[in-house]
Amino acid sequence: MVTIKPKKQNIANRFRGLLPVVIDVETSGLNPATDGLLEVAAVLLNMDAENNLRVGQCYAYHIEPFVGANLDPESLAITGIDPHSPLRYAMTEQQALHMVFATVKQLLEETGCQRAVLVGHNAWFDLAFIQAAIKRNSSLVSPFHSFTTLDTATLSGVALGETVLARALKAAKISFDVNKAHSAAYDAEKTAELFCHIVNKWRR
């Protein structure tokens, strides 16, 4: 019996011209207008020969809080971030987002997608902080859709019956180290694994 492999699908076709990019941010509070953006991570996604979505490279940056940013002690205690530590080797939010956006724009060209769409766990939160940073830095031009997101909290609630990231990962049988949580890079990579799991399961 001859097995016919499926024709490789372009990621642009899978998401109607949108390029999913997983984003996670760590912040100094919950208000995007007043609280600082302290970390940002972007995980790129690609499709394999069997049309399964796979986790690609992660780009993560530590960020200096903008001048006058509110630094909420409770939020910093949760993340464990010391915004003033020189060991963070932090850059400005303009520099960090410029590098993320440039990477995403290059992938848009390579894949033929028209626009990027932010994938996140409670994605509205990440998008709101990025948009607030863009407002503070008028030179930044975002490659992301201004309001459409792919929210893994909602998707995992439907697909797995769980909305909390750690519980959704457990339901999907994906490892999760609570000691590494609240790192933008780690949370973004785990969110990317969860998103790929749900998308691939749905396709099958």
Which of these is catalytic: 62, 145, 182, 197? 182
Question: Among this protein's residues, is 182 annotated catalytic?
Answer: yes
Higher pLDDT, 49 or 196: 196
pLDDT tier at 203 (50, 70, 90 boundaries)?
confident
Q: Helix crossing, 184-203 with 152-159: angle to 10°? A: 40
Q: What is the rounded distance in angstroms from the CA atom of residue 178 to the CA atom of residue 4?
A: 42
pLDDT at 1: 52
Contact 165, 191 (CB under 8 A): yes
Read off the pTM.
0.94
Q: How many contiguous H segments (helices) and E segments (strands) does the chain have?
A: 7, 5
Stretch 124-134: mean pLDDT: 98
Model confidence band, residue 7 (pLDDT cutoffs 50, 70, 90): low
